[in-house]
Amino acid sequence: MLSRSAVIEHLPRLRRYARALTGDRYAADDLVQDTLERALSRWALLRPGSQPVLWLLTIMHNLFENQRREAWRQVDAEQALAELAARPEQCDGLVLADLARALYRLPEEQRAVLLLVALEDLSYAETAQVLGIPVGTVMSRLARAHTRLARILDGEDAGPELKIVK
């Protein structure tokens, strides 16, 4: 069973992943709180022998996805497209700021895989378990994320690529 000390042990990791997902300290704190509330309400569903951190990260990812979908429904489509196309006005020239902006230009599916593997140091199998996708999908999304991130950082990426099908 998940103990209080196990939850406290994973708080820094949960906060780090939530911050990377949301890009905002306050939204990340809310997401961590929502995750812990959900975990406590479903305490009995944690399987014996499973890794509590994977269970918590899965709950967090699912909550984030649900919140993102709900927010999308509430925002006018034109306004959402305009916000997605808007670039940050301040450029401080720091590599980390460039990387953060580049990360948020990745599709959410690729960004989630990249963050779990690179930032949270999860294996492909663990990442697949958290996201509820096959391991092969994790590997292909990670490869696409690496390629696109490099192109964005090199200034070569103008947006999503469209393939012409004959």
Segment-wise mean pLDDT, segments of 10 residues, the chain, 166 residues: 72 91 90 90 79 88 86 57 54 62 87 89 92 94 91 73 63
The CATH number of the domain where 17 resides is what? 1.10.1740.10
Is 142 within 8 Å of 118 (Cβ atoms)?
A: no
Max CA-CA distance within the chain?
A: 58
What pLDDT sits at residue 92?
A: 42
165 belongs to a structural domain: no
User: How many domains, the chain?
Assistant: 2
**Residues found in the chain:** 166
Helix axis angle, 25-41 relative to 4-22, nearest 10°? 140
CB atoms within 10 A of CB 102: 18
15 shares a domain with 67:
yes
Distances (CA, A) of 19 to 114, 117, 136: 14, 15, 26
46 belongs to a structural domain: yes
164 belongs to a structural domain: no
137 shares a domain with 81:
no
DSSP 8-state assignment for residue 43: G
Compute φ and ψ for 87, nearest 5 degrees.
-95, 150
What pLDDT sits at residue 32?
A: 93
Domain boundary among 70, 86, 102: 86
What pLDDT sits at residue 144?
A: 93
Domain boundary among 86, 119, 134: 86
